[in-house]
């Protein structure tokens, strides 16, 4: 039973389409844009066909409420249309005046239940420019932090896990000292039982306080895989411990220490990712010239950050990265997860925004020099497309983006399959 829970937890961190299709609403409400790619020129009017499907048939004579407004912000217009005898209704959405995304929402009330959906349409998404700017001493700040952290001995403790190892891979739990004495990175290491030096992947976690288990499935493709946590706590404890931390000391961890760039929570986390690369490069079974970072959401952000800071990383896979455009809301448009600075009356907000510039994924994306594979969707409510395109558009390194337009905070299997094939090519895995 524990093994089943682990498999489900892993799938949930990179949610694929099959997980989304396991349950259905009685009525599905659709807002179908007249451009199949959901993309328009700035100023171009979008036309929508709206309908509600019940038991595989369009519903005639049903009232559909609709609204539209900028991505993640309040609607600027609401209206109602009624479907004709063929079960369809139509309405128009005016084009945005600048590159960005408009959220179009439709809703049907039927027999006491509400059914709704959202469609985010794009207006020149590759023209979106970030509002954040890079501090003049950004690189100096991080170079100094890494140099100081590099002086701390790794002091590695590694423990083989017999129950999770098998005929193809060995699984270990590791503790690596990082950042300063007494501060540690904890993770699960999966090593293929093959001869010679192998490529390695640093697998970075989405936002949560949780346990990790092996083996990591990526190891079956021939990678040494190190999957780490970011909280400096062991990753092999009972689930109840993580729930207590999540509701207690680590509640709202994304805001902890935000008043100072040296005390902000993620400084330790980011340096811990670099220390994890140190450890992989120290292993005799790892080829240090073939290392990649991999992660989604918070893990996507850390994948970009680590690859930007550490030249030993040769490729990265980041899907719907978080922490893009942290001050977006303050500047009148959508910001990425964790949706900071929505309240302009927040105490010390201007100083906190200054700190956020040292941790905004956009500014790390500006520094990338290695190939990257990126994936997300237009309908992501957490790491919204206005924010992720803001980061993608500043990348000058080789890059490719694979969009599943109707995906939310999850990926289709084809996106993952393409990413894995790309990683094999980049790291020379046959």
The catalytic residue positions are: 297, 380, 409
14 closest CA partner among 429, 248, 298: 298
- Give me the phi and psi of 2, to 5 degrees please: -60, -40
173 closest CA partner among 183, 273, 162: 162
220 within 8 A of 210, measured Cβ to Cβ: no
The residues, any chain, with a CB within 8 Å of residue 415's CB and separated by 6 or more, are 319, 375, 402, 404, 407
How wide is the angle at C-alpha 419 spanned by C-alphas 293 and 32, nearest 5°? Answer: 125
Asked if residue 285 has a cis previous peptide bond (ω within 30° of 0), the answer is: no
- Residues pairing with 177 in the sheet: 184
Look up residue 104 and give its two tokens. 């179009």
Q: What is the dihedral of CA 371, 337, 234, 183, to 10 degrees?
A: 80
Quick one: how far is CA 193 from the chain centroid?
Answer: 31
- Residues pairing with 296 in the sheet: 319
The residues, any chain, with a CB within 8 Å of residue 232's CB and separated by 6 or more, are 183, 184, 185, 186, 268, 272
């Amino acid at each position: 039973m524990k093994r089943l829970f682990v498999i489900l937890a892993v799938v949930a961190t990179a949610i694929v389409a099959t997980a989304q299709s396991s349950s259905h609403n009685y009525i599905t409400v659709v807002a179908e844009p007249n451009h199949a790619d959901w993309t328009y020129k700035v100023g171009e009017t979008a036309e929508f066909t709206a309908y509600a499907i019940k038991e595989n048939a369009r519903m005639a004579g049903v009232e559909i409420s609709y609204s539209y407004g900028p991505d993640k912000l309040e609607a600027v217009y609401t209206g109602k249309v009624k479907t004709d005898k063929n079960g369809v209704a139509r309405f128009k959405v005016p084009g945005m005046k600048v590159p960005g995304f408009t959220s179009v929402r439709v809703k049907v009330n039927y027999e006491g239940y509400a059914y709704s959906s959202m469609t985010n349409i794009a207006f020149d998404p590759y023209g979106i420019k970030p509002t954040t700017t890079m501090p003049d001493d950004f690189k100096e700040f991080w170079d100094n932090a890494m140099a100081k952290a590099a002086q701390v001995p790794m002091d590695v403790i590694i423990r083989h896990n017999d129950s999770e190892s098998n005929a193809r891979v060995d699984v270990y739990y590791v503790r690596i000292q990082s950042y300063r004495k007494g501060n540690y990175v904890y993770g699960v290491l999966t090593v293929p039982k093959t001869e010679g030096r192998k490529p390695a992947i640093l697998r970075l976690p989405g936002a949560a306080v949780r346990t990790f288990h092996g083996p990591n499935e990526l190891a079956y493709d021939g990678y040494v895989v190190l999957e780490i946590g970011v909280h400096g706590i062991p990753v092999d404890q009972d689930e109840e411990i993580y729930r207590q931390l999540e509701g207690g000391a680590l509640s709202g961890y994304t805001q902890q220490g935000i008043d100072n760039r040296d005390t902000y929570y993620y400084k330790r986390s980011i340096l811990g990712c670099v220390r994890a690369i140190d450890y992989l490069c120290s292993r005799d079974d790892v080829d240090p010239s073939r290392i990649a970072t991999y992660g989604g959401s918070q893990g996507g952000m850390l994948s970009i950050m680590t690859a930007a800071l550490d030249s030993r990383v040769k490729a990265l896979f980041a899907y719907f990265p978080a922490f893009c455009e942290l001050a977006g809301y303050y500047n009148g448009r959508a910001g990425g997860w964790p949706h900071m600075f929505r309240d302009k009356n927040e105490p010390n907000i201007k100083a906190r925004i200054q700190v956020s510039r040292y941790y905004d994924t956009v500014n790390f994306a500006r520094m990338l020099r290695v190939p990257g594979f990126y994936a997300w969707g237009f309908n992501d409510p957490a790491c919204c497309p206005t924010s992720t395109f803001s980061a993608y558009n500043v990348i000058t390194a080789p890059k490719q983006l694979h969009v599943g337009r109707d995906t939310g905070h999850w990926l289709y299997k084809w996106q993952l399959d393409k990413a894995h094939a790309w990683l094999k090519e980049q790291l020379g895995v046959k």
